[in-house]
């Protein structure tokens, strides 16, 4: 009862002090708190967003919700036709794309009948046989065409080539990429020892190696070139109608997948430990940077409250002099800090969700391996508001505690 | 004097301030008794130690040595919380420069001690208004200290000091910043409180107000010269 009364009086004093404080001082403190909050959320959100962006890309444009790949120590997925029928019979599955992969040599400026020349204008890439329409439905591959056009019809002798195989787009691999190849050029692809001439219909550029380092070709053309049996595929990417039904769908498919000497993984499993490690690292990095920001902000708030308390030392002394309990005075400063922290957080939340998140969703930062979005979760935001809240309580309590401890009459007389 | 019960006793009070290596003895052994309902003036020249004695008697400061007994209780044993409790419930204090809280209105300045003292706040505004009305500030309840004259501020300070019905009112040169007319009003106001049985300890160096008191204690160089 007594504590509650002290809270109430502390709140009353805090409200009067804030109300009658200099407007610009109030604005400055709220601004500091807003910037601190954004710093806490923004830096870590951006770092986590880098990984999330890469992970999202991999899910949206490569693995989709579930991906079937050959089992450990197996080369291909067997019984693809039977597996395909099974996939088609499952109502939870929205669409799928079967891929055939083969290492290949791609050569420009060639003689059709000569063997690939390692000194010439050539490179190696993964020849990927797909049904262009299905692949586009599943991974929106067409979105990554930067030159030329997607293969919608008459796929004979047409390829889409990843930008990672072209020197013009990927200068990092010196001497390892095709030089001067543009849309409409013919290139020679050698797979399983057989060469064949194809025309570059389009160039694909993404933030995924599974697109950049591949040459996409019609499935029938692939089979024709490599002599691969249609039953032996390499990847089946599956999109679900409801992405929440990952496990259920996997369970339905598991026996067929097993009999095809393959394994079925969720999008997250297929990304492997690397993404998780990267995510953890960036989370730690974000937390460290955020903690530094928080420390700076806490010290700033501490200084602001301390200066406020020092400048009001006489009034603190007067309050003590007329018998106001020290705890009430401390509460009043803590409430002031909390007020500034909450207002700062509220403005920060407004800026975050109304401006920053939509902005970065629309205009991701162009990082080499992903499109950096601002990855903020509700839990993360609440956590950061709480962190700011706790540090504000400390920043309000410590200075007022130090002042309140001083001799009453010395405070009143300013000694 | 009808009531001779002693309310405050000071025994061999000393107060020494140490600034660096400089030691200043302000009070050098004060012995003093103040009776309930008595109006006592403490006077002396500037720097004589009269204000310091008042701070020590009112538990705003601790003596370096000696004992202060309030209603026979040795205040040396009081914790800081107990000092605070005493100041809230038993003592009222009027400072030379009013010591009002600038962000609170006249009424809020007066009601703050009541808010701390009382659990039920229903009637504290009415009580605050009543006290302010008694000191002639009925029209200035909502005014902030910056909107009041010196005399009005001191009236608010007096109202705040007595609102909790203290046993002892301490006033430290309450007229120092006021003109003659306002000073007379304030001293009249304080002297009038005596009728309610309040014990008053007034520090002043103005001789004309000494005759209004029951007893004058003159301090010089930290000791009582005359009482």
Distance, in Å, from the CA atom of A237 to the CA atom of A59, rounded to the nearest integer, reads 10
- Note the pTM of the prediction, 2 decimals: 0.73
User: Which pLDDT belongs to residue A173?
Assistant: 53
A127 within 8 A of A267, measured Cβ to Cβ: no
Under an 8 A CB cutoff, do B60 and A20 touch?
A: no
Minimum mean pLDDT range among A15-24, A279-288, B24-33, B46-55: A279-288
Instruction: For residue A318, list chain B residues with Cβ-Cβ distance below 8 A.
Output: 95, 99-101
For chain B, the first-to-last Cα distance in angstroms comes to: 16
Q: Which two tokens stand for residue A322?
A: 């007329």
For tokens 């609440």, name the residue. A382
Q: Which residues of A touch B84 (CB under 8 A)?
A: 320, 323-326
Closest CA to B44 of B219, B206, B226, B178: B219
CA distances, A335 to each of A309, A318, A341 (Å): 13, 19, 10
Give A29→chain B minimum CA distance, Å. Answer: 19
Both tokens of residue A11?
């709140």
Contact in structure between A329 and A385 (CB atoms under 8 Å): no
Question: In the structure encoding, which two tokens stand for residue A129, read together?
Answer: 């046989």
Rounded distance, CA A280 to CA A236, Å?
A: 29
Q: Decide if A381 touches B, using CB distance below 8 A.
A: no
Chain A environment of B113 (Cβ under 8 Å): 322-324
B150–chain A nearest CA distance, Å:
18
**Residue A64, Ramachandran bin (φ over 0: left; ψ between -120 and 50: alpha; else beta):** left
Whether B116 and A9 have beta carbons less than 8 Å apart is answered as: yes
Q: Which residues pair with B120 in a beta bridge?
A: none
Q: How far apart are CA A150 and CA B61, in angstroms?
A: 88
pLDDT at B1: 47
Neighbours of B202 (CB within 10 A): 26
The maximal CA–CA distance of chain A, rounded, in angstroms, is 104
Tens of pLDDT, residues B164-182: 899 999 999 998 888 888 8
Looking at the predicted structure, is the pLDDT value of residue B35 above 60? yes
| DSSP SS3 for B223 | strand
Q: Does A414 touch chain B (CB under 8 A)?
A: no
Q: What is the CA radius of gyration of chain A?
A: 32
* Helix, coil or strand: residue B142: coil
- A contact residues 310-339, partner B, Cβ 8 Å cutoff: 314-315, 318-326, 328
Q: What are phi and psi of A330, to 5 degrees?
A: -65, -45
Residue B52: closest CA among chain A residues belongs to which residue?
Answer: A409
Whole-angstrom Cα distance, residue B202 to residue B93? 10
3-class DSSP assignment, residue A143: helix
Tell how far CA B71 is from the center of its chain.
17
Does A20 sit within 8 Å of B102, measured CB to CB? yes
Chain B residues in contact with A326 by the CB 8 A cut-off are 80-81, 84
Both tokens of B106, joined, read 């006249």
> How close is the nearest chain A Cα to the Cα of B88, in Å?
4
The tokens 């880098």 sit on which residue? A50
Instruction: Identify the three-state secondary structure at position B227.
Output: coil
Radius of gyration of chain B (CA): 17
Q: Which residues contact A70 (CB under 8 A, 6 or more apart)?
A: A76, A77, A234, A261, A262, A263
Nearest CA in chain A to B51: A409
Q: Do A322 and B87 touch (CB under 8 A)?
A: yes
Contacts of B104 in chain A (CB under 8 A): 16
Q: What is the interface size between A and B, counted as CB pairs within 8 Å? A: 73
Helix axes A326-351, A267-311, angle to 10 degrees: 140
Mean pLDDT score across all residues of chain B: 90
Which of B80, B100, B116 has its CA nearest to residue A405?
B80
For the CA atoms of B88, B94, B96, B99, the dihedral, rounded to the nearest 10 degrees, stands at 50
Is the CB of residue A318 less than 8 Å from the CB of residue A409?
no
Q: Give the strand pairing for A194-204 and A262-266.
A: unpaired
- Residue from A308, A323, A401 whose CB has the most chain B CBs within 10 Å, to mutate: A323
Q: Rounded CA gap, B109 and B131, in Å? A: 12
Quick check: A17 and B103 CB within 8 A?
yes
Portion 17-76 of A in contact with B at CB < 8 A: 17, 19-21
What does the alpha-carbon distance between residue A107 and residue A110 come to, in Å, rounded to a whole number? 6
Measured between beta carbons, the chain B residues lying within 8 angstroms of A8 are: 115
Quote the pLDDT of residue B155.
92
DSSP code per residue over A57-99: HHIIIIIBSEEEEEPTT--SB--HHHHHHHHHH-TTEEEEEEE
Q: Where are the alpha helices (DSSP H) in A75-218?
A: 80-89, 132-139, 209-212
Tokens of B40: 């006592």
Query: CB distance B93–A328 less than 8 Å?
Result: no
3 state SS of B10: strand
Q: Using the structure block, give the residue that is written with the tokens 């401390």.
A: A330
Angle made by CA atoms A264, A266, A272, in degrees to the nearest 5: 100
CA A321 to chain B, closest CA, distance in angstroms equals 6
Q: Please state the ipTM of this predicted complex.
A: 0.91
Look at residue A215 and give its three-state secondary structure. Answer: strand
Q: HEC states along A311-372?
A: HCHHHHHHHHHCCCCHHHHHHHHHHHHHHHHHHHHHHHHHHHHHHHHHHHHHCCEECCCCEE
pLDDT tens per residue across all 415 residues of chain A: 668 889 999 999 999 999 988 899 889 889 988 988 888 888 888 888 888 888 888 999 999 999 999 998 899 999 999 999 999 999 999 999 999 999 999 998 876 555 555 567 888 999 999 999 999 999 999 999 999 999 998 899 999 999 999 988 876 555 568 888 999 999 999 998 888 999 999 999 998 889 999 999 999 999 999 999 999 999 999 999 998 999 999 999 999 899 999 999 999 899 887 777 887 888 788 778 877 877 887 787 778 777 877 888 889 999 999 999 999 999 999 999 899 989 999 999 999 999 998 998 888 888 777 777 888 888 888 888 888 888 888 888 888 898 889 888 888 887 7
Ordered by start, the domain boundaries in chain A are 2-59+274-413, 75-260
């Amino acid at each position: 009862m007594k504590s509650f009364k002290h809270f109430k009086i502390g709140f009353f004093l805090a409200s009067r002090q804030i109300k009658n404080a200099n407007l610009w001082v109030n604005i400055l403190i709220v601004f500091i708190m807003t910037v601190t909050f954004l710093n806490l959320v923004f830096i870590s959100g951006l770092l986590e967003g880098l990984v999330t962006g890469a992970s999202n890309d991999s899910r949206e444009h490569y693995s989709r919700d579930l991906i079937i790949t050959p089992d450990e120590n197996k080369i291909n997925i067997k019984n693809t036709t039977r597996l395909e029928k099974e996939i088609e019979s499952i109502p939870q599955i929205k669409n799928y794309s079967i891929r055939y992969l083969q290492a290949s040599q791609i050569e420009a400026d060639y003689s059709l009948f000569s063997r690939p020349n390692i000194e010439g204008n050539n490179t190696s890439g993964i020849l990927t046989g797909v049904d262009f329409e299905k692949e586009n439905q599943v991974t929106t591959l067409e979105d990554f065409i930067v030159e030329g056009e997607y293969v919608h019809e008459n796929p004979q002798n047409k390829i889409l080539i990843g930008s990672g195989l072209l020197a013009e787009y990927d200068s990092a691999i010196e001497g390892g990429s095709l030089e001067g190849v543009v849309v409409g050029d013919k290139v020679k692809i050698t797979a399983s020892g057989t060469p064949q001439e194809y025309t570059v219909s389009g160039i694909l550029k993404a933030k995924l190696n599974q697109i950049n380092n591949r040459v996409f070709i019609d499935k029938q053309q692939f089979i024709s070139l490599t002599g691969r049996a249609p039953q032996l595929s390499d990847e089946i990417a599956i999109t679900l109608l409801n992405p929440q039904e990952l496990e259920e769908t996997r369970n339905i498919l598991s026996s067929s997948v097993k009999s095809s000497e393959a394994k079925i993984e969720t999008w997250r499993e297929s990304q492997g430990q690397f993404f998780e490690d990267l995510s953890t690292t960036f989370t730690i990095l974000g937390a460290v940077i955020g903690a530094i920001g928080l420390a700076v902000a806490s010290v700033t708030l501490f200084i602001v409250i301390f200066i406020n308390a020092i400048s009001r030392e006489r009034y603190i002394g007067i309050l003590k002099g007329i018998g106001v309990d020290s705890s009430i005075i401390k509460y009043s400063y803590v409430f002031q800090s909390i007020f500034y922290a909450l207002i700062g957080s509220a403005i920060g939340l407004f800026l975050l969700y109304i401006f920053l998140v939509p902005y970065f969703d629309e205009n991701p930062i162009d990082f080499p391996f992903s499109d950096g979005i601002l990855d903020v979760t509700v839990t993360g935001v609440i956590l950061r508001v709480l962190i700011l809240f706790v540090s504000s309580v400390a920043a309000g309590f410590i200075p007022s505690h130090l002042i309140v401890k001083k001799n009453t009459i010395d405070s009143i007389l300013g000694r | 004097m009808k009531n001779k019960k002693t309310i405050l006793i000071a025994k061999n009070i000393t107060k020494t301030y140490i600034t660096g290596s400089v030691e200043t003895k302000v009070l050098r052994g004060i012995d003093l008794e103040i009776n309930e309902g008595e109006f006592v003036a403490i006077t002396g020249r500037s720097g004589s130690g009269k204000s310091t004695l008042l701070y020590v008697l009112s538990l705003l400061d601790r003596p370096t040595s000696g004992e202060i007994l309030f209603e026979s209780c040795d205040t040396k044993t009081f914790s800081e919380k107990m000092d605070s409790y005493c100041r809230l419930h038993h003592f009222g204090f009027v400072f030379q420069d009013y010591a009002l809280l600038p962000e609170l209105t006249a009424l809020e300045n007066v009601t703050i001690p009541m808010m701390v003292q009382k659990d039920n706040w229903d009637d504290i505004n009415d009580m605050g208004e009543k006290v302010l009305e008694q000191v002639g500030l009925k029209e200035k309840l909502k005014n902030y200290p910056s909107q009041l004259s010196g005399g009005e501020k001191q009236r608010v300070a007096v109202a705040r000091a007595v609102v909790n019905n203290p046993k002892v009112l301490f006033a430290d040169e309450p007229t120092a910043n006021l003109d003659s007319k306002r000073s007379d009003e304030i001293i009249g106001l304080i002297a009038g409180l005596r009728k309610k049985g309040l014990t008053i300890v007034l520090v002043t160096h103005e001789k004309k107000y000494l005759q209004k008191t029951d007893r004058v204690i003159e301090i010089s160089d930290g000791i009582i010269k005359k009482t």
